[in-house]
Amino acid sequence: DSGVTQTPKHLITATGQRVTLRCSPRSGDLSVYWYQQSLDQGLQFLIQYYNGEERAKGNILERFSAQQFPDLHSELNLSSLELGDSALYFCASSVGGRGQDLYGYTFGSGTRLTVV
Amino acid sequence: DQQVKQNSPSLSVQEGRISILNCDYTNSMFDYFLWYKKYPAEGPTFLISISSIKDKNEDGRFTVFLNKSAKHLSLHIVPSQPGDSAVYFCAAIETSGSRLTFGEGTQLTVNP
């Protein structure tokens, strides 16, 4: 157990629907990062929140949004889902706002989203 | 624009031999590099890292080498064990940045 909790582990939904992925960071970590891993591809950075505020943004689609709540958990909202959105979505956390914390990020086990 | 590339999707080695995984990068602003290991149905876990002020970092069976002039790093695993079979991701970060940029990963298989 890495200490980063992601729910649900699996999600199957239809095209056009909206889903919410949830992440609880490791205790004491202020930053939350979201990554997408499509089939046979590396992890693509989506967005980072630090202590409730958006810190950095990657190639996140306009149909996707995220937020970090006062208790530091984060949610990634995916709307108007398309078949191509099927992927593994990972959340990671770090103590500070930069990934150069001693051990980089700590990852959760991911949410596998399947859009049918 | 793939700033971190792992050109070998897969690598197969015999138990006890050396495994060498390679990674190239294009962004000169990267100054800290990490390797992650990922088993199926799990998230990536940190393995070893190296700062750009060093050219080598060792931790037990794992050694990472950095060649800044060639923008190349490699991970050596000696001796390789069947439990090392996993996907290995190379990642990099800029001094001023907060995001890790990942390569595509290399599937390592260590055969008994």
Set of chain B residues whose Cβ sits within 8 Å of the Cβ of A31: 98
Q: How far away is chain B from the Cα of A107, in angstroms, using its nearest Cα?
A: 5
* Yes or no, beta carbons of A56 and B91 under 8 Å apart: no
Q: Quick one: which of B110, B86, B108, B91 has its CA closest to B10?
A: B108
Name every residue whose Cβ is closer than 8 Å to that of residue A106 and which is 6 or more positions away in sequence: A2, A3, A4, A26, A29, A92, A93, A94, B46
pLDDT band at A102 (very low <50, low <70, confident <90, very high): low
Whole-number pLDDT of residue A95 = 83
Query: How many Å separate Cα B45 from the centre of its chain?
Result: 12
Structure tokens, A52: 């409730």
Whole-number pLDDT of residue B64 = 98
Q: Give the model confidence (pLDDT) of A7-44 as tens digits.
A: 999 999 999 999 999 999 999 899 999 999 987 678 99
The answer, for B110 touching chain A at a CB cutoff of 8 Å, is: no
Q: Are strands A31-37 and B56-59 parallel, antiparallel or unpaired?
A: unpaired
Q: Which secondary structure element, helix H or strand E, spans residue B39, and what is its range?
A: none
Q: What is the C-alpha separation between B78 and B59, in angstroms, rounded?
A: 11
* Yes or no, beta carbons of A45 and B99 under 8 Å apart: yes
Best of A33, A98, A102 to mutate (most B CBs within 10 Å, chain B): A98
A83 φ/ψ angles, rounded to the nearest 5 degrees:
-55, -35
- What is the distance between the terminal CA atoms of chain A, rounded to a whole angstrom? 30
* Yes or no, beta carbons of A50 and B36 under 8 Å apart: no
Q: Give the model confidence (pLDDT) of B69-103 as tens digits.
A: 999 999 999 999 999 999 999 999 887 777 889 99
Q: Across-strand partners of A113?
A: A11, A87
